[in-house]
């Protein structure tokens, strides 16, 4: 990654959507894309796409990490996200499922672009587990089984929650309870972005 790739926060809006597995990140992002014209980038989807790309140098590594509920090395995820941002015509980005740990957060902000705000979708493990097991009935995802889900919860608490705490110090985190219906949660999320773009 070169220093020329550094993008300016003044030229774009990058928002991280954080929350445990099954907290509803993708669902809320879909609504924000509709209302605010964001480009939605799911770190998990990008990694799964890369894993399936013929000839990918990262394919096997990504597959093993996903299967074990572990975090893919930062440089792989950051490279994929940066490429996607640079290739896009948009200047509004929602990134969900990233940063998964503090070193990813620090590296992304230093090497790519500083984030504008962070939404943290707060949800109990009980509710998330129920949602994921239900999703697992139809998703076909190898990580939507109880054993891997519990590993993912542990990973989130140990590695990802400190990211929320880090950004909280800079006043960029908006915590949104998300155990209610999709519509009720979005009624809390939407005004945050309406306010943000009113200021721009």
Query: pLDDT tens digit string along 142-152?
Result: 787 888 889 88
Task: Tell me if 141 is assigned to a ligand binding site.
Answer: yes
The Cα 75–Cα 120 span in angstroms is 23
What is the structure's pLDDT at 88?
Answer: 94
More confident site: 5 or 162: 162
**Domain for residue 165, yes or no?**
yes
- Domain span at residue 43? 13-190
Nearest-angstrom CA–CA distance, 25 and 120: 9
Residue 69 among known ligand-binding residues? no
Q: Is 153 annotated as a binding residue?
A: no
Check the annotation: does 180 bind a ligand. Answer: yes
pLDDT in tens, 91-142: 999 999 899 889 999 999 999 999 999 999 999 989 999 999 888 888 887 7
25 marked as binding residue: yes
Q: State yes or no: 70 annotated in a binding site.
A: yes
Return the structure tokens found at 119.
Answer: 């939404």
Q: Quick one: pLDDT at residue 2?
A: 44
Q: Which residues contact 98 (CB under 8 A, 6 or more apart)?
A: 16, 43, 77, 81, 104, 108
CA of residue 198 relative to chain centroid, distance: 24
Residue 33 is labelled as binding a ligand: no
Q: Give domain status of residue 196, yes or no.
A: no
Q: Would 144 be classed as within a structural domain? A: yes
Residue 115, marked binder: no
pLDDT per residue as tens digits for the range 5-48: 478 888 899 999 999 888 999 999 999 999 999 999 999 899 99
Number of domains forming the structure of the chain: 1
Report how far residue 41's alpha carbon sits from residue 152's, in angstroms, rounded to the nearest whole number.
20
* Digit-coded pLDDT (tens) for 51-84: 999 999 999 999 999 888 788 899 999 999 999 9
Opening angle at CA 40, ends 152 and 7, nearest 5: 105
What's the pTM value of the predicted model, to 2 decimals? 0.85
The pLDDT assigned to 199 comes to: 63
Domain membership of residue 2 (yes or no) is no
Q: CATH code at 149?
A: 3.40.50.300
Q: State yes or no: pLDDT of 3 exceeds 70.
A: no
92 labelled ligand-binding? no
Categorise residue 69: left if φ over 0, alpha if ψ from -120 to 50, beta otherwise: left
Q: Is residue 7 part of a domain?
A: no
| pLDDT at residue 188 is higher than 90 | yes
Residue 42 lies in a domain: yes
Determine if residue 44 is labeled as part of a ligand binding site: no
Specify if 6 maps to a domain. no
- Cβ contacts of residue 66 below 8 Å, gap of 6+? 47, 48, 51, 72, 142, 143
Average pLDDT taken over every residue of the chain: 90
> Is 27 labelled as part of a ligand binding site?
yes
State the pLDDT at residue 1: 43
């Amino acid at each position: 990654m070169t220093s020329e790739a550094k993008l300016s926060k003044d030229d774009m809006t990058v928002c991280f959507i954080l929350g445990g597995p099954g907290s509803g990140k993708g669902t809320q992002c879909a609504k924000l894309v509709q209302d605010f014209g964001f480009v939605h980038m799911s770190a998990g989807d990008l990694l799964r796409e890369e894993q399936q790309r013929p000839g990918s140098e990262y394919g096997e590594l990504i597959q093993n990490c996903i299967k074990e509920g572990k975090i893919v090395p930062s440089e792989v995820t950051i490279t994929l996200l940066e490429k996607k941002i640079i290739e896009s015509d948009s200047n509004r980005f929602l990134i969900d499922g990233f940063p998964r740990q503090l070193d990813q957060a620090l590296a992304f902000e230093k090497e790519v672009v500083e984030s504008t705000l962070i939404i943290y979708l707060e949800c109990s493990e009980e509710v998330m587990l129920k949602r994921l097991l239900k999703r697992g009935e139809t998703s076909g995802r190898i990580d939507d089984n109880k054993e891997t889900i519990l590993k993912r919860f542990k990973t989130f608490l140990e590695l990802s929650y400190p990211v929320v705490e880090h950004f909280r110090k800079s006043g960029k985190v908006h915590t949104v309870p998300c155990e209610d219906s999709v519509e009720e949660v979005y009624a809390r999320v939407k005004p945050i972005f309406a306010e943000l773009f009113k200021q721009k």
